[in-house]
Each structure stands twice: as C-alpha cells, then as structure tokens.
Amino acid sequence: MVSSLKEIVIGSPIASENAHHERLSKKIALAVFSSDALSSVAYATEEILLVLAVAATHYGQATTFKYVIPISIAIAVLLVLVSISYRQTIYAYPSGGGAYIVAKDNLGTTPGLIAAASLLIDYVLTVSVSIAAGVAAITSAVQGTHYEWIADHRVLICIMFILTIMLANLRGVRESGMIFSIPTYVFIFSFLGMILWGLGRYFISPVTVSTPIDLSKMAIAEGYSPAPLSLMLILGAFSNGCSALTGVEAISNGVPAFKKPESRNAATTLIWMAVTLLVLFLGTSVLAYLYHVVPLQNETAISQFARMIFSGPFKIFYYVVQAATAAILVLAANTSFADFPRLSSLLARDGFLPRQFANQGDRLVFSNGIVILSVLSSLLLILFDGDTHRLIPLYAVGVFLSFTLSQTGMVVHWWKERGESRVHKAAKESRLDASIRPEASTEGVDAARRIGAVTEIADWKQSIVINALGAVATLIVLTVFIITKFIHGAWIVVVLIPIIVVMFRSVKSHYNQVAEQLLIKPPYKLRKLGQTVIVPVSGVHTAVLSALEYAQSISKDVRAVYVSVDEKLEEKMKADWKQFDIKIPLIVLDSPYRSLVRPLLDYIDKTDRESKESLITVVMPEFVAAKWWHHFLHNQSSLFIKGALIFRPSTVVTTVRFHLKR
C-alpha cells in the first residue's frame, strides 16, 4: 500500500539504462543555467536601497538613494571580472568544474571541503531566498483586501512552493528545454521591455510618474537603526547588492550538458548570461533611482516602479512582470534542487557524506538530497519568517567564499600546468593511452579539438593573471561581507562552515575505520562451525512448535528454554511438554525478579562457556499480527530479547514468524 501510494505521487521506477543525457543548445542552456543568476535582479537593487534607507531620514530621499547608481556599477564591474574568471574554468574543466572539485584538485582536501560546505549552505539559502522573494512578488501584486491574509500566510505559501518543487524533482523533471525556456525568456524580455518603456516614459513626461511616497512607511535593513551615511553603510549596501552575483558559477558546473564543442558553447553562453544580467540589474537600479522608489514593507521596489510605468491601459504588463519575476524565482530555487543533490552525491561518493546521498532513487534522482534540501530550506523560512531581507545577510557569504577558493584553485591549476597547453596535454595523454589501446590516438586529437583548447587558451600567464584578479576581487568582497554583515547574520554561516567541515571529516574517518575493520586478505578458508540452538518458549502452541521444528533442522543440539515467573504456569508448561511428548529437552529457568530477559541471558552465557567450539543461535518464535493495532496487544517480549541480544557478540538471532490470519 505504501509502495503504491509512492508510485502515485512520485511515479513508477525508471530503469537505469534510461538515464538520459540531453545535450543543450546555447539558447536553451542559457535558460536552464541562468535562472539562478538572473532571478537575483528581483531583489538585489532593493537590498541596496534597504541599507541606504538607514540614512534617508538624515539626508532626505534624493541625496541618499542616488548612491544606488555607483554601487550598482561597482557590482557590475565585479560581475564582469567574475564572469571572465569563470570562463577560464570552463575551458580548464570541460567535465564540470564546481568549486569543490577545483579547490580539492588544486588546493587540497580541506579547501575543497570548505568550498563544498559553503556551496551546500548557499544552495539551501538560494531556495529560501528565491522562494521568499517569489512570494513577495506575488503579495506585492495583491494589494488591497486580500493582502493581509496572504502576507500573514506567506511562510505557509513558501512551504507549499517548496513541497511542489520537491515532488516535481522526486519525479525527476529533467532539464527539459521548454519548461525552463518560457519563463526565463518571458522574464528577460518583459524586464528589457519595462526598462526601455520606463526610461522612455521618464524622459518624455517625467511629471506624471513621480508620485510622492510616504516616508513613514519606509522599511530599513534589519538590525540597522537610522544613522548618517558612512563608508560602512555604503559597503553594507554594496554587500547586499552582491547577491546579484549568486548563480554566476552555474554554467561552469554544467559544461558536459552542452552540445559540442562543449567548452566553447558554454563560454559563449556564459558571456551572454553575464551581459543579460548586467543590463537587467543596472536597468533596474536606474529605474528605481529615476522613479524615486523607496523600500517599503508591503511592496517590492520592482513592483513599485512597474506599477507606475505600466499604469492605465498598460496595467496588464505590470502583472506580466510580477508573474515572470515569481516564475523565474521559483526556477532559481529549482536549480538548487539539481545542484544540492548532485554535490552531496559527489561528497558521498568521496566518503564525506552518508552513502545514502550517493544512491539514485526509483526515478533516477538523488532522492535523499532532494528531501534534505526541502526540509532545511523550509526550516530556514520558518525561522526567518519567510522574509527575504532577513535572509540576505546570510546569503552570498558562502557564494563568495566558494568563488574565492575556486579562483585561487584555478591560479594554482595554471601554475601547475605552466608551459604545457591543454592541447599538448591532451595529445600527450592520448599518446600514453595509445600505447595500451591503439584506437586512443585519434581520440586524443578529437578530445583536444572537442574541448576547444586550441585557439582559446593561448597563454598560461594571461590565464593566471585573470584568475588571480578574480580571486583577489572576490576575497576583498568576502572580507567586506563578513565585516559589514557579521552581526546581521553572516556569523551564522561563519560558524556553520567549520562545523560542517568537521562533520565531513568525521564521516570520512568513520568509513575509513569500517573499511579497515572489514578488510581481509585472500585466500580465506571458511571455518566449519558447530551449532547450539536455544529456543525461548512461552507455552506449547503452533508458533512454538514451528520454531522447534526449525531449530531441529539447523542443529542436533536444540534446547527449549522456559522462563518461569509463576509457579502454576510452570507446572502447566511441564505437563504440556510431557503430554506433547516433545523430544527436545525443556530447560526451566527461575526468574525471581519477573524479568524474561535476564535469566535467558545468564543461560546463554553459561551455554557459551560450556560449548566453546560452537556458535549459539537463538531461535525466536514471533507472531506477525494481522492488523497494526494488534501489536499493542502482545507483550513484545521477543522484541526485548532481540534488543538485549544485539549487543552480545557471537550470538545469532533467528526469527521464526508465525503469521496470524485474523
């Protein structure tokens, strides 16, 4: 029954051989891999405004919020740097260069694990932040009578979204082009349209759109109190805005999913994504500035200016923008549902996470990772009350830590490979290979061509400079993050990462210890062992007789053991035994304290001492009840005895079940 329920919800199992590896065109890949990065446009600008708002009462709206423009430009510059950096990773790791792999390969296990820990944290945060922001886009559009209700239930709505995404992923929704393309391109084009329309409208008739906003309803960043402008404040706003960069690394992880030549296509797509993100993010910041948007508690910044831009007969476009925003945010959360399980399966295969994370479920997906991610992100939403602004300070610390480790790893990578280009290396490997397998030679040339290394990466020195620049820039930003956002929540991540790394380490050390204990060298001759079988009996009935028959079938030395707690019952037992004429000796044990387990264990100890040569098997007669509630009606003494024997070495427990029919 459980299994058929599972089939309805999750679908019937998929055979291993049906594992498919759809290759993506650039257009579709852009949609598949960029939803995480692009969706941050929905909240990045607003998070900058929220920090600036701290100073708004001191300097007034106009003076304070103009800083959104230079801050956004600084973030855009950082974006360009990081994108160029990652473009190099794409060529160096055509099989997928996640921060964990790059850092582990080049910097060692611990940096790799630190990167992995930060990524896992960030995947969880991506789900929480994206879903919270998506729900905020919906609540913003539903101003009016229903607002209160929806706002009060936002955590519940968030969790419903997560559950839906979880189920979809457990069913194994593939990165099927259409599902991703439509919302992503609708988002891109509706935002581009809004930016153009908004700019045009502003410069044609600026008066109509600039409505005064009630400053008393203004929201400011969590944990701040009104204060004058300062460098810390500007840096804080910058840190918050850097959430725009999350997800930029996605393409570099997914190179093998591209059509051939993989690396070149992936690199092109990365550039396209970076450009799109740049335009949308800067455009959003400019609109927010021009339309004098201030952060409000009950409406997002985008919703505010979109409402002003698409007024009157164009109102429909406002709803399109909000719907597209919500949709791309849900997609962004969905990418974590691919990334988190994939990274945990890598970690599990390397022995740093429980093995269960490496198993693919019925539908060829890493089910355990999917469920854990859903639980953690839901918990986070409950703890932070489904509020994007309160989650943002935790966000991006992990992303930039993994950026830094990954870029530093790339610097080391180029240094190790200095003097030999990828082409040489590929050719060399194929030659080595060719000495064993003749057909490998052509493969080598083919591989070199495929990874597109011939023309792209001319010089290791240039590469090392670019990645070093990326590493330094992201390290500086990371430091700024930790300084400006530490007390607002970043400390949680700073504390969590070492804890998770220690956890990885102890899991690994356990697996190593188990492997050591299980290790045995061939050849091995199986020993011949004798058997002493003990059958605890409670009376003479069908279940006990079956157990005795079973015991006789595995050994000649069988003893029925009866624990006596009541003299009358003991008499009856002895009489029955005689009457049934059972040829097996009945051993009666006294139990002065009415315990069933204690005398039995003592007897086993005694038998063990007497017959050193043979194993001891305890054959337990056990009922299987016909209905679940019947279990409460039986003493479960079999369970207690089995529990007590678990920790007794060299005693084997066998359960002979008697299936009750009613």
Q: Which of residues 528-567 bind a copy of itself (CB under 8 A)?
A: 528-531, 540-543, 545, 548-550, 552-555, 565
Does residue 4 belong to the site contacting a copy of itself (CB under 8 A)?
no
φ/ψ (deg, to 5) at 557: -100, 85
Give the nearest distance from C-beta 52 to a copy of itself in angstroms.
45
Among 511, 587, 589, 611, binds a copy of itself (CB under 8 A): 511
Does residue 568 belong to the site contacting a copy of itself (CB under 8 A)?
no
Angstrom distance (rounded) from CA 184 to CA 186 = 5
Give the nearest distance from C-beta 586 to a copy of itself in angstroms.
13
Among 173, 323, 500, 582, binds a copy of itself (CB under 8 A): 582
Does residue 579 belong to the site contacting a copy of itself (CB under 8 A)?
yes
Among 20, 527, 556, 612, binds a copy of itself (CB under 8 A): 527
Does residue 151 belong to the site contacting a copy of itself (CB under 8 A)?
no
Residue 523, SS3?
coil
Size of residue set near a copy of itself by CB under 8 A: 79
Angstrom distance (rounded) from CA 641 to CA 637 = 6
Among 109, 181, 268, 360, binds a copy of itself (CB under 8 A): 360
Angstrom distance (rounded) from CA 444 to CA 440 = 6
224: left (phi over 0), alpha (psi -120 to 50) or beta: beta
φ/ψ (deg, to 5) at 250: -55, -45
Does residue 524 belong to the site contacting a copy of itself (CB under 8 A)?
yes
Tokens at residue 17, please? 């051989």
Does residue 628 belong to the site contacting a copy of itself (CB under 8 A)?
no
Q: Which of residues 218-257 bind a copy of itself (CB under 8 A)?
A: none
Does residue 654 belong to the site contacting a copy of itself (CB under 8 A)?
yes
CB 446 within 8 A of CB 258: no
Does residue 584 belong to the site contacting a copy of itself (CB under 8 A)?
yes
Q: Which of residues 289-348 bind a copy of itself (CB under 8 A)?
A: none
Indicate the pairing of strand 614-624 with strand 651-659. parallel
φ/ψ (deg, to 5) at 626: -80, -30
Angstrom distance (rounded) from CA 171 to CA 11 = 6
Neighbouring C-beta atoms of residue 218, cutoff 10 Å: 17
Give the nearest distance from C-beta 440 to a copy of itself in angstroms.
19
Does residue 624 belong to the site contacting a copy of itself (CB under 8 A)?
yes
Does residue 583 belong to the site contacting a copy of itself (CB under 8 A)?
yes
Does residue 211 belong to the site contacting a copy of itself (CB under 8 A)?
no
Among 144, 419, 438, 522, binds a copy of itself (CB under 8 A): 522
Of 371, 290, 385, 294, which is closest to residue 337 (Cα–Cα)?
Answer: 371
Give the nearest distance from C-beta 126 to a copy of itself in angstroms.
25
Neighbouring C-beta atoms of residue 595, cutoff 10 Å: 14
CB nearer to a copy of itself: pick between 77 and 639: 639
Among 592, 610, 612, 628, binds a copy of itself (CB under 8 A): 592
CB nearer to a copy of itself: pick between 362 and 417: 362
Angle at the Cα of 244 from the Cα atoms of 292 and 297, rounded to 5 degrees: 45
Residue 258, SS3?
strand
Strand (E) positions, 197-344?
none
CB 357 within 8 A of CB 370: no
Angstrom distance (rounded) from CA 325 to CA 123 = 19
Give the nearest distance from C-beta 443 to a copy of itself in angstroms.
20
CB nearer to a copy of itself: pick between 216 and 635: 635
Does residue 523 belong to the site contacting a copy of itself (CB under 8 A)?
yes
Does residue 373 belong to the site contacting a copy of itself (CB under 8 A)?
no
Among 6, 10, 11, 14, binds a copy of itself (CB under 8 A): 14
Of 146, 164, 167, 168, which is closest to residue 156 (Cα–Cα)?
Answer: 164
Among 153, 425, 559, 657, binds a copy of itself (CB under 8 A): 657
Stretch that binds a copy of itself, among 15-23, 28-36, 49-57, 484-492 (CB under 8 A): 15-23
Give the nearest distance from C-beta 635 to a copy of itself in angstroms.
6
CB nearer to a copy of itself: pick between 13 and 200: 13
CB nearer to a copy of itself: pick between 343 and 596: 596
Angstrom distance (rounded) from CA 327 to CA 184 = 8
Element (H or E) spanning 623, and its range?
Answer: strand 614-624
Length of the chain as a residue count = 662
Angstrom distance (rounded) from CA 48 to CA 45 = 5
